[in-house]
Amino acid sequence: MAYEPAMVPPKKSRRTLFIVLGVVLALCCSGGVVGGFVLYRVAQDATGPARATVDTFAGAIVARDYPAAYRLFCADVRDRLGEADFARQQSAQPELTGYEIVGLNVTNNNGRVRGSANVRFTPRDGVAVNQVLPLVKEDGDWRICD
């Protein structure tokens, strides 16, 4: 009887395992990046127009362009406060040198779209002042309203 060596199965390469794990990890990471980007874009689409309104309003206040700021008020505010009165009130305030939008929130509650922005105004002299600007969507545009 001839002696035949026992067949030893070939060793599985760990290299293949590492390649498979690497591909799975790359797919998971890229999925997370894509998902994060999509979430960021959705948030930007929801808050971008509101932020633009707040940015324009705050910029007009700092530039003392009160007619431009006044145009961004909702109809309720414009009905209660005339443009000349608004300009007179704002002119009596300390001069501002800048602003920063430090927070913005937009909600949709049963189709009623509202929001608020927290803006930090920087006066020429003195301490920065935080102001909350209520926002409403009126005729498709964001307006400053209270």
Q: pLDDT digit string (tens) for 78-98?
A: 999 999 999 999 999 999 999
**Whole-angstrom distance, CA of residue 54 vs CA of residue 52:** 5
Of 4-8, 89-93, 99-103, the range with the lowest mean pLDDT is: 4-8
Tokens representing residue 15 in the block: 């290299």
**Whole-angstrom distance, CA of residue 135 vs CA of residue 1:** 95
Give me the residue spans of the domains in the chain: 29-144
**What is the rounded average pLDDT of the residues 55-80?**
97
The burial class, CB within 10 Å (0-12 / 13-18 / 19+), for 120 is: middle
Q: 29-144 belongs to which CATH class?
A: alpha beta
Q: Which of 142, 128, 146 is nearest to 57 (CA)?
A: 142
44 versus 79: the higher-pLDDT residue is 79
Tokens representing residue 100 in the block: 């920063």
